[in-house]
C-alpha cells in the first residue's frame, strides 16, 4: 500500500508521499512514488502514484519517453492542467490494459491511481486525482487537498487544519503529521518520506525534502505530535455525573 497527499493553497502546492511497497509481510521494498517534470519558466508538474508498481513505473517511463521523442501529445505540449490529467489518465488505461490482457498475468490487478499537480504558463495552478478508469477530479474548494492510497488515517487532521490561506510551512507540517498518523496505523506505509513544495507562479522546480526513518526532524515531529495528543486528551472535559438509568 502507499499514501500520498497533495495540498493546494493560495500560494503553494505541497506534495507528500511515502516510499514503501508491500508484496507480502516478508517482501517490503522502497520505491519513490513522486516524480517531478517540467520546463523552467514554462511549466512544472509533480506526479504522485499509488497502486500496481509495474503500472506506475511503466506510465512514468512512457511519459518521459514521449517527452524525449517529442510526440504530438505529451506533457510538454498540453495547454492546460486538465489536459495533462486527461493525458495521464489515457496513458494509464493503455498501460493497465496491456498488463491485464497479457496471458502471463492471469488474476493480475494492474490498477493505479495518480495525483498530478502543477502549473502551465499563466494558467492557474491545479491538482487532479486520476482514477484507474482514466477520469479525474480536481480538489474541492472547502477541503483543498487530494489523497490516494491509504487515505483514512491521515484525513482527519487535514480536514481540521488545511484551508486556502494555510501558510507553506504549516501545509508541509500538516502533510507530514498526516503521513505519520498513517504510518502509525498501517505498517505498509513507511519512510523515506518525500516532500515537494511548489511556489505558485514561479514555474520553477519546487523545494524538495527527503526524510528517512532516522531523520532527526521527523523523529522530533512524531514525538511532539504524540505528546501534544496525550496532553489534549488529558485536558478533555470530565464526564457529567451519572444519572439514573433510562427507563426501558
User: What's the CA gap between 159 and 90, in Å, rounded?
Assistant: 31
* 58-103 per-position pLDDT tens digit: 999 999 999 999 999 999 999 999 999 999 999 999 999 987 766 6
Question: How high is the pLDDT of residue 23?
Answer: 47
CATH no., domain 3-232:
3.60.20.10
Cell of 16: 507528500
Note the helical H segments in 69-165: 81-100, 155-161
Question: How high is the pLDDT of residue 100?
Answer: 74
Cell of 31: 520505491
User: What's the CA gap between 7 and 86, in Å, rounded?
Assistant: 20
* 126-173 per-position pLDDT tens digit: 999 999 999 999 988 788 999 999 899 899 999 999 999 999 999 999
Percent of the chain with pLDDT over 70: 91
Residue position matching grid coordinates 493560495: 10
Distance of CA 43 to the CA centre of its chain: 20
Whether 245 shows a pLDDT value over 70: the answer reads no
- The torsion angles phi and psi of 143, rounded to 5 degrees, stand at -130, 80
Whether 244 shows a pLDDT value over 80: the answer reads no
Q: What is the mean pLDDT of residues 28-57?
A: 91
Amino acid at each position: 500500500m502507499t499514501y500520498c497527499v497533495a495540498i493546494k493553497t493560495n500560494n503553494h502546492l505541497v506534495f507528500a508521499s511515502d516510499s514503501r511497497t508491500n508484496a507480502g509481510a516478508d517482501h517490503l521494498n522502497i520505491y519513490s512514488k513522486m516524480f517531478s517534470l517540467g520546463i523552467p519558466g514554462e511549466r512544472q508538474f509533480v506526479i504522485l502514484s499509488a497502486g500496481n508498481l509495474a503500472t506506475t513505473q511503466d506510465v512514468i517511463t512512457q511519459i518521459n519517453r514521449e517527452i524525449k521523442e517529442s510526440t504530438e501529445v505529451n506533457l510538454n505540449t498540453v495547454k492546460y492542467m486538465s489536459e495533462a490529467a486527461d493525458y495521464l489518465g489515457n496513458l494509464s488505461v493503455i498501460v493497465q490494459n496491456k498488463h491485464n490482457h497479457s496471458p502471463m498475468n492471469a488474476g493480475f490487478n494492474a490498477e493505479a491511481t495518480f495525483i498530478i499537480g502543477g502549473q502551465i504558463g499563466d494558467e492557474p495552478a491545479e491538482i487532479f486525482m486520476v482514477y484507474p478508469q482514466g477520469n479525474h477530479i480536481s480538489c474541492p474548494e472547502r477541503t483543498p487537498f487530494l489523497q490516494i492510497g491509504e487515505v483514512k488515517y491521515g484525513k482527519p487532521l487535514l480536514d481540521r487544519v488545511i484551508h486556502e490561506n494555510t501558510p507553506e510551512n504549516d501545509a508541509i507540517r500538516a502533510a507530514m503529521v498526516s503521513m505519520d498518523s498513517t504510518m502509525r496505523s498501517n505498517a505498509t506505509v513507511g519512510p523515506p518520506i518525500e516532500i515537494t513544495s511548489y511556489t505558485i507562479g514561479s514555474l520553477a522546480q519546487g523545494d524538495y525534502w527527503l526524510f528517512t526513518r532516522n531523520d532527526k526532524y521527523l523523529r522530533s515531529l512524531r514525538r511532539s505530535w504524540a505528546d501534544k495528543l496525550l496532553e489534549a486528551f488529558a485536558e478533555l472535559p470530565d464526564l457529567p455525573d451519572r444519572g439514573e438509568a433510562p427507563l426501558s
